[in-house]
Amino acid sequence: MTFVHVSIRASDLDRSIRFYEKHFGMKLASRRPIPQNNAEIAFLEGEGTGFRLELTWYKGQRRFDQAPYDDRLFDHLAFTVTAIDYLVAGMKREGVTVTDEPFDLGAGGSRIAFIEDPDGTLIELIEKR
């Protein structure tokens, strides 16, 4: 068995594609309608990582809501980054929601922060030491 990808819902497919391309350097690999369930999907790839993120937009979706943190079934995506403080500062200037400012995980550990994508999906940023 092989793990293939992670899929998250998007309320606006174009906006979400731009977000992941701009802030994480992901590239759009494919995009297509899925008429069987009245949806459209887009696959983005992390360059050289083998990681694929599927964004799913349902045409008939009337309500889009992320559950409060305590009720999340899905917790977060995680990306390794460099210069986390600089990256987070730039994201804040562009209106990205930062839920946890960068902090150290103990002496010599990684430095992490959490942000949200345009639909409230939690994303962990990890700067390895």
Residues tagged active-site: 124
State phi, psi for 8 to the nearest 5 degrees: -130, 155
Q: For residues 88 and 111, give the distance between their C-alpha atoms in angstroms, rounded to a whole number.
A: 12
Q: How far are the Cα atoms of 4, 52, 56, 113 from residue 12, in angstroms, in the given order?
A: 23, 19, 9, 25
Q: How far is CA 72 from each of CA 55, 101, 109, 121, rounded to the nearest angstrom?
A: 18, 21, 27, 10
**Residue type at 41 in one-letter notation:** I
